[in-house]
């Protein structure tokens, strides 16, 4: 078989199961693509070549013995480097953890490998998942496969770039304020943030625990659905993991009688190009039978303020564990315990991480907690209530993924302007809602744009069905960036 990277995960799995291709051929093919392209793309921080080959050989043996094969048998999967693979480095793109070897598998990883996925490597991210452009990686930038001068988005930029460039067919990400959906939108692929708690976070390095959620990247909605069937399971190791049976994701292609809410007033400042694309998307949804209605979500204009208080507050406590004592780097010059903390954190953390820890500590400090943290928690309640009221009228909410397509690297220097990039993705995290980013066209620079659909809590299955219907009615998924279309060799 040639051009394996033009296939979806579902198709490649089928080809493997039918015996059209061996797991070893798949592994060698994608490792070759990674070898050829990673330098220009910066998608992977580490490539797990020998491990992947070994797993592939075992998988071929399994098939030759006619043993039952997993749902993801033969599918190459890239893992964001803030999730543990036992024995491998989990760097979180931080100097602090450059030598840290994970002592156990994250639940999501265990589930993926239980279903015979082939892990290609660990992908680049903003340090500790803090950022919207992948520029906060302590190692190197990741680049957008559609234009190498542009950001792939962040924080899961490496996984998004890897999947968009077909260096892997599935990627994992973690989404605290849009870190799966925004890079998916920027790279022209599908990205899914499940309901809070749907995927276990055991083995994910925590950023903001009331917001973090693991989810997949893929080139089609069907591949996202397949991955969710595998990783969307209850896990006793994560107390926030939902104790619900795993769901089966059958896919529809109609939106008859589905009511889609649009918060028109909240979207009134959309720039012309993003607006035109969004209007086209609504037209597609209508043509599939959906009813579009105006909903009031004015409260969402406070989302970013709420988010940057709560997320940094939680990060400041979560990152207190990086003290230079038990793991991570320890500054050799340090003579006292305090110096170990201070010097190790000085050397180990990048600027954005320091900034957020300080902001989080500030908003939690005595005298300020009521004005910042508690106030933000109350406004978060209002955000949740507003969504609940909206979902009494509609089945899903449509918004753009981001205010524009991918921006050039190094083009945004103002911290606030960077934070405002997440205006449309943060609300779903604040309210624990499932939300999906689906390719919806291209801007005048030929950079991808994305449509975001947001569903009520726990309604992961219908949301993915709506996204599938939209995808099937458009021609924007499965487009491969021209630079990466060619075969491996």
Partner 1 sequence: MTYLALDVILTGYLWMIMSKFNEKTLENLKKLCRIDCTPEEDKDILHSLGRVLEYVELLKEVDTTGVASCNYVLQSMLKNLMREDEIKDLLPREQFLSNAPDQIGGMIRVPPVIKGS
Asked if 176 and 212 touch (Cβ cutoff 8 Å), the reply is yes
Which is the catalytic residue, given 80, 137, 156, 193? 80
Verify binding: residue 237, partner 1, rule CB under 8 A. Answer: yes
| Least Cβ distance, residue 304 to partner 1 (angstroms) | 8
Structure tokens at 60: 């071929």
| Least Cβ distance, residue 437 to partner 1 (angstroms) | 20
| Least Cβ distance, residue 407 to partner 1 (angstroms) | 19
Asked if 158 and 45 touch (Cβ cutoff 8 Å), the reply is yes
Provide the mask over 66-105, with x wherever binding to partner 1 is found by CB under 8 A and - wherever it is not: ---------------------------------xxx-xx-
Site for partner 1 in 311-350 (CB under 8 A): 316, 323-330, 334-343, 345-346, 349
Site for partner 1 in 362-391 (CB under 8 A): 362, 365, 367-368, 370-372, 374-382, 384
Nearer to partner 1, 159 or 312 (CB): 312
Site for partner 1 in 23-62 (CB under 8 A): none
CB atoms within 10 A of CB 318: 18
| Least Cβ distance, residue 97 to partner 1 (angstroms) | 9
Site for partner 1 in 216-235 (CB under 8 A): none
Site for partner 1 in 406-435 (CB under 8 A): 414-416, 419, 430-432
Site for partner 1 (CB under 8 A): which residue of 46, 280, 361, 474? Answer: 361
- Catalytic annotation on 80? yes
354-389 burial, b for 16+ CB within 10 Å, e for fewer?
A: eebbebbbebbeeeeeeebbeebeebbeebbebbee
446-479 burial, b for 16+ CB within 10 Å, e for fewer?
A: ebbbbbbbbbbbbbbbbbbbbbbbbbbebebbeb
Q: How many residues contact partner 1, by CB under 8 A?
A: 76
> In this structure, what is the dihedral angle of CA atoms 304, 310, 316, 318, given to the nearest 10 degrees?
-120
Nearest to 456 by CA among 321, 287, 258: 258
**Separation between Cα atoms, residue 14 and residue 73, nearest integer Å:** 9
Verify binding: residue 458, partner 1, rule CB under 8 A. Answer: yes
Which is the catalytic residue, given 8, 132, 133, 155? 155
**Separation between Cα atoms, residue 485 and residue 480, nearest integer Å:** 6
Catalytic (active-site) positions: 80, 155, 179
């Amino acid at each position: 078989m040639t051009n394996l990277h033009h296939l979806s995960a579902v198709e490649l799995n089928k080809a493997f199961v039918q015996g059209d291709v061996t797991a070893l051929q798949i592994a060698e093919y994608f490792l070759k693509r990674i070898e050829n392209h990673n330098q220009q793309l910066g998608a992977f921080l580490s490539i797990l070549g020998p491990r992947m080959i070994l797993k592939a050989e075992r998988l071929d043996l399994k098939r030759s013995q006619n043993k039952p094969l997993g749902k993801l048998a033969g599918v190459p999967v890239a893992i964001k480097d803030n999730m543990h693979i036992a024995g491998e480095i989990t760097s979180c793109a931080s100097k602090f953890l450059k030598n840290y070897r994970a002592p156990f598998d994250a639940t999501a990883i265990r589930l993926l490998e239980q279903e015979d996925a082939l892990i290609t490597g660990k992908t680049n991210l903003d340090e500790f998942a803090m950022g919207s452009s992948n520029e906060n990686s302590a190692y190197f930038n990741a680049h957008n496969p559609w234009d190498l001068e542009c950001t792939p988005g962040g924080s899961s930029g490496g996984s998004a770039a890897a999947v968009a460039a077909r260096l892997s067919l599935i990627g994992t990400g973690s989404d605290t304020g849009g870190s799966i959906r925004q890079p998916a939108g920027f790279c022209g692929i599908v990205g899914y943030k499940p309901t809070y708690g749907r995927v276990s976070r055991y083995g994910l390095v925590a950023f903001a625990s009331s917001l973090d959620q693991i989810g997949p990247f893929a080139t089609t909605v069907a591949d996202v659905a397949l991955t969710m069937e595998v990783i969307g399971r209850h896990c006793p190791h994560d107390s926030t993991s939902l104790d619900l049976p795993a769901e089966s994701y059958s896919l529809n292609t109609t939106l008859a009688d589905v009511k889609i809410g649009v918060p028109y007033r909240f979207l009134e400042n959309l720039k012309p190009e993003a607006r035109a694309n969004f209007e086209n998307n609504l037209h597609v949804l209508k043509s599939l039978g959906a009813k579009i209605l105006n909903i009031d979500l004015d409260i969402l204009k406070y989302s970013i303020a709420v988010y940057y208080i709560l997320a940094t507050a939680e990060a400041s406590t979560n990152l207190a564990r990086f003290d230079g004592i038990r793991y991570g780097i320890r500054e050799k010059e340090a003579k006292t315990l305090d110096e170990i903390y201070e010097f190790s954190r000085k050397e180990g953390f990048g600027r954005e991480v320091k900034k957020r820890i300080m902001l989080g500590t500030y908003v939690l400090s005595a005298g300020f907690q009521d004005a910042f943290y508690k106030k933000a928690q109350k406004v978060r309640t209002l955000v949740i209530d507003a969504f609940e009221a909206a979902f009494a009228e509609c089945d899903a909410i449509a918004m753009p993924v981001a205010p524009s397509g991918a921006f050039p690297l190094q083009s945004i220097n103002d911290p606030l302007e960077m934070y405002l990039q997440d205006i449309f993705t943060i609300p779903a995290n604040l309210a624990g809602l499932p939300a999906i980013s689906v390719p919806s066209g291209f801007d005048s620079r030929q950079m991808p744009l994305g449509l975001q659909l947001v569903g009520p809590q726990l309604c992961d299955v219908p949301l993915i069905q709506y996204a599938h219907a939209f995808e099937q009615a458009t021609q924007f998924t499965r487009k491969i960036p021209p630079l990466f279309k060619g075969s491996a060799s």
